[in-house]
Structure 1
């Protein structure tokens, strides 16, 4: 009765602090003598629960908790020194210590003279760590939370404002270098060892699902707040596969446990990726999540079956009725243990690592023998199954079917049908022909299309290809960011299905497909525009819509046009040398379209587009006089004079075949446009000094101070 009265009074005190958090200091200091080590088990259980609740309460301020923390340490230490076996008391005390450790750590930072509190805290910590492996599972779960708090406190964190340490998170980052009680190297080494101990739960052969789930939930804050150890934690999780840490029999309880561990690990990683979508280990994490989805336990549940399958054949035709499995077909070894091994238990990446070196070292003759053995086995089984199927059909047909002869009157073309049936019967004597054989069905030829219809179909096909270019342009490319080697004109147009592949396909349809068909009047007069010119016109408009972003497409197209022109001119020259009666004519396209494309781009260039213009002029296959004249036209605008001169200077320096041509153009710009003379004169002074006027070549007068400084 006295105990129940004391518990009722303590519950009344708890109700008071729940109603008014300001009473916490008074109540906590008042109950410590009542619920201490000398109290009865029921009172100690109530006191441990109340202390754990107090220091985890969100309504009590952190400053008040820090003031109360040193006063309760001695009471907790005295209870832990007892041979306590009550799981509830130990569980609540470890939870309370997990809440107290950051508070005591900050208190010691601010009050280094209070060495007694830090000594008691260390004693409690070492006692919990020493007895952790012997605790029951509920207490081990609380110990995992305590380890997480210790590692979090004794690991440096990000300091938001060094001027206000009270606003920063409790960690080693706010500990002064010369603190008399807190040695930073010692604390870092201890936190590293405790983290390894926390991660050991993933390394044991048979794990406890409750402890694994609790550890995973404790690791999530460390991954989020401690960047220095997050990669180590993630790697430990990525190496953990729950299905490998269980042993048969696979009961429903085991299945639920594995599923819960997989779901918790997946939730931890998915939530981490939500907060940091650009994590450097994104690929590994996604691969691990996919493998978790596939690593379900495949062992059947024997308890859910009605009865086991018979081990002996039902009748003598058992093997003929049941086709062989793939494992029986391809198994060549006589080792029973090796034949019964299920290779699907191995991870796919491990299978790849094993298979590739083995295939590289396999004996070719042995491989050929094995393939021949499997082929012979397959042919034998197939023949037996076909014969058994024919026997079953014959038995199912009965004797009455032999007496039935349908009245069949052949129609026109029956002779041709009977010939085909006789040929089939002669080639396959084992197969019985059908009673009614039909002749081969041939689709009628489509009506011929007119030239206008063919052109319309071609233009619609081109429009569909351009729609694919737009889709590929907006879709992310799998090979983006990887270094690729472009084999030039010999690369395949359909090697992949990205934007470049569709563009290359279009350019080659426009340039190479009609090669040799465009000369003279072969296409006729007064007819519609050829499909190749339609593609070129569409490409031209497509590039001009966004010439800065699609400049690569234009350069690729012009290179294909130039290459095709040279191939056609070479073929025409060879035919002319052979003395053909009709001299072939070659229709060239490069000069036309490079001029049109340059005319469409130049009006929209400004002084900041020097890289665009220089890249275009440097990557097109040939620079001609019309191209340099169009570049020279930029000098008409005083704001684009430097753009003109810099583009011509680049060609003079880095395209020697076009150097004289560009120097002539630059000299014309120098003579024609007065605004361009200062910039053009600097280039001509190096490459063609005789073209500079004497007045322009005289050095500009320098200030007296600058001349004296130069002489000095």
Structure 2
């Protein structure tokens, strides 16, 4: 009785030590070496249980370094060996010791590789391994799961790894690849033979007549590291799984628990094979794995089917039965509804649709109920109404309506006949033929009168008009719509293009904006929204500048297009060209319309039109010219050749490229292309070439070639050649002096 408090105090102290190492991993060596005498084989069960759990936690902790674990491993082996030699029956102690041994085996193996003289440590590890393998079959299932992990770790260590650097063995994975050929304690052939036998023992769970689902699932989950890192044994493992049919390894009675166990084993095996195929679709065993997966998916547990099970109920409909089957199945046809006659008096919608004789239901005003409550009542009722009952009710309402219409038509004809007989002697109208339109209008009038006779009990329902939008709200909604269209543009750009060999039709400038769902279609739609839609609605440029103008939808679309093009100007150059062509075309149309509206008597007044082309072409050039290099000659030439108009600001921006000596050729070649192929801009570009020639000395060799060909009489060339010609004769006079000095 006096020892119980002592054990409690010792466990409290051990828990305090555990809290200390969890806070600072540097105390692990001191604490581990200090608790070994306290938790040894000769101590109480509570202390052994705590010590085994602490050792398993220590060598599995990711906080403690591998080098520190390798130094601590030889110290704890003797304690684990002594405890395993005891006739221990406590499951917690056995689980923790086997888990600790699984974590220790790679550490001890690498320690022996680096210290071949430490034979005592290797003997202790081998003794622990033999104890676990000897008693493994006698352990309960929970301990067998830990033993399977120990076997997996031993097989992984005692086989060759898939790769590694032989020059840096300390960085390689622990395997036979790090063992020297002439090692005094480790014999590679013996270790390989032992690992092969242990692998067969690990895979033996798939050949047993009766399989435990927990052990099978745990073993399957332990195999992926071996398949991934040990190619020498991967095929053997996969073949063992492919030969395993879970439904064949169970015995009757086939209870629901057994069925769930079989399904769990099938699902685990199928998941493992799926992962193998996902990582290596060209696996040599891929056809067998796919066939195995399909077999498991289609499996219905043929071995687990009970032959004495009764047949299920016949798959017969519960209503609407055929007349030939009613007598055999004793099924009655749906009951017929009793349709009462319409109430006397004028025909109304209420009387037309009232199919019950209950006075309370007929007089109830449904308008008193809220609309949401009516929905909650009507929808479930309609879902439970029989099809035959609904058809009978609809037919009854149709018959009533036809009867009312027929009676009203007959009354109207009798009234017309009686009125014609009274006036026949006094008045004889002249014959006037009636056209088809008047006949149709009379028929429509008659139908309207028939419907008017049905006095409605419910008033007409009119949707309320939406509140008017302010200018700011309308602009915000417009910008949001444009942003959604830009989202469609981005999605269309991200989608795959046309397949190779398929010709893509180019619809040209006159294409429809919505002719396709590709990037160009959404681009032209946005461009025309920004250019053509607001045409004629913008304020004149000479408007009052004191009034701050709100940004319009067109301006926001243009700004978004500008940013979109500059994000990838090389890949979206065609969108920029389409945009500028539309802007130029819109500007010309607006100028033409303004000139037509101008008063001929007022000769001094000029048409005022907002010009967008010059603004945005200059902004685009300023945006991407800074990012061009000498290899982008095709990008710049294409842009300058396909925009609709070349202006002086454009040529000046191109000339600014000559500031960089590496982009001089880009500047001169682009201007030379315009000189050759854009005749209206030739003189403008030649003037720009002369300015470049005079301003930047690095451009003179390339610019001089262009000027000599297209403007040979340029005064710029004469001025620069005269100083060179005057300085040329000075060189021969200096030669004799140099010769005399020599």
Provide the TM-score with structure 1 as the length reference: 0.48
TM-score (norm 2): 0.47
CA radius of gyration, larger in: 2
